[in-house]
């Protein structure tokens, strides 16, 4: 009996030494996890505070333009001029035809009309359709732009006999404004015209250099 009591007492003495050891391990892991979470929270908080207190660079849209509006490019200037040319040319629709005429007061012939319109925009060209067909630069008829000139001849062996001013070139065809002997200054779709289409010969650009 004495031996059994001695063994039991030894067991009881050993048990208290195991419980604190497990408890300390759990507490150590808990503290380490807590410290890790604390460090993460502090790092996030620092980043947020830094973001709030740091001056952000202005976006390009916030920066005012100190030098005024951006000037148009050369091509946009040219297109604006072309638009102005055809707009003005169409204000002459209804003017009478007059052989060798060069002004709205007397009426126009075909080349007198184109030279008059171009002259309003500082573009000096001859009052002769044959001479105009050699001025500026050659362009493909299918690629004409508003403000270009289109020339006509009845056959390859004959001279140029007419000139017109391009208004538009789109899916509907090529429209021009010109002074005709029968109807004066009018707008025509020459690619849809049974009369004018067979005589289309060439085209010139006298605007691009301006």
Let me know: does 176 contact 188? Beta carbons within 8 Å.
yes
pLDDT of residue 56: 55
Residues 168 and 197 in one domain: yes
% of the chain at pLDDT higher than 70: 73
Q: Residue 138's closest CA among 61, 208, 36? A: 208
Residues 86 and 171 in one domain: yes
Q: What CA–CA distance (Å, rounded) separates 59 from 206?
A: 44
Residues 9 and 106 in one domain: no
pLDDT per residue rounded down to tens, the chain (210 residues): 444 444 544 445 554 445 557 677 767 777 777 777 777 777 767 665 555 555 555 544 545 544 445 445 558 899 999 999 999 999 999 999 999 999 999 999 999 999 999 999 999 999 999 999 999 999 999 999 999 999 999 999 999 999 999 999 999 999 999 999 999 999 999 999 999 999 999 999 999 965
Count of structural domains, the chain: 2
Query: For helices 74-90 and 110-119, what crossing angle results, to 10°?
Result: 130
CA distances (Å), origin 195, targets 79, 93, 192, 200: 30, 20, 9, 10
Residues 48 and 99 in one domain: no
Residues 177 and 105 in one domain: yes
Residues 110 and 197 in one domain: yes
pTM, entire model: 0.66
Domain of residue 30: give its range.
1-64
Residues 88 and 180 in one domain: yes
* 64, 94, 119 - which closes a domain: 64
Q: Does 210 fall in a domain?
A: no
The two tokens of residue 95 are 């003017």
Q: Does 69 fall in a domain?
A: no
CA 134 to chain CA centroid, Å, is 33
Q: What CA–CA distance (Å, rounded) separates 47 from 53?
A: 10
Residues 56 and 79 in one domain: no
């Amino acid at each position: 009996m004495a031996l059994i009591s001695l063994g039991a007492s030894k067991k009881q003495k050993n048990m208290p030494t195991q419980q604190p050891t497990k408890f300390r391990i759990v507490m150590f892991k808990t503290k380490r996890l807590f410290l890790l979470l604390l460090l993460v929270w502090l790092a996030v908080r620092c980043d947020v505070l830094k973001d709030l207190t740091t001056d952000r660079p202005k976006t390009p849209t916030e920066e005012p333009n100190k030098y005024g509006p951006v000037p148009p490019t050369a091509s946009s200037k040219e297109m604006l001029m072309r638009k102005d040319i055809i707009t003005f040319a169409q204000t002459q629709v209804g003017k009478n035809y007059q052989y060798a005429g060069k002004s709205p007061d007397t009426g126009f012939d075909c080349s007198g009309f184109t030279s008059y319109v171009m002259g309003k925009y500082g573009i000096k060209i001859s009052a002769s359709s044959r001479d105009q067909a050699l001025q500026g630069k050659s362009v493909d008829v299918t690629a004409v732009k508003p403000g270009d000139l289109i020339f006509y001849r009845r056959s390859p062996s004959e001279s140029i006999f007419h000139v017109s001013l391009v208004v538009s070139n789109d899916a509907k065809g090529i429209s021009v404004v010109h002074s005709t002997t029968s109807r004066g200054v009018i707008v025509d779709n020459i690619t849809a015209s049974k009369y004018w289409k067979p005589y289309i010969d060439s085209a010139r650009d006298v605007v691009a250099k301006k």
